[in-house]
Amino acid sequence: MNHYVSLVILALAVTSVFTAISREAEKKRLKYFLTMLGYMVVGSFLAAWLMYFIPW
């Protein structure tokens, strides 16, 4: 299993919990789920890309 699959699995799990405990209406929960999933996956890739240029 590579890091990308692990990242998506973690994002799915965390986003599922956030969606389950949210007080959004039933119709808005799917949009909320997809939005949060996108933020988490894209944000993680952006952070990884920015850290690539840091000389460790």
Dist. CA 1–CA 46, nearest whole Å: 21
* DSSP 8-state secondary structure symbol assigned to residue 54: S
Q: In total, how many domains does the chain have?
A: 1
Q: What is the pLDDT of residues 8-55, one digit of tens each?
A: 999 999 999 999 998 888 889 999 999 999 999 999 999 989 999 998
Residue 1 has pLDDT above 80, yes or no: no
Range of the domain at 32: 3-52
Q: Of 6, 56, 5, 13, which Cα lies nearest the Cα of 36?
A: 13
CA atoms within 13 A on the CB side of 35: 7
Dist. CA 19–CA 1, nearest whole Å: 26
∠ CA 21-19-7, rounded to 5°:
125
State if pTM tops 0.85: no
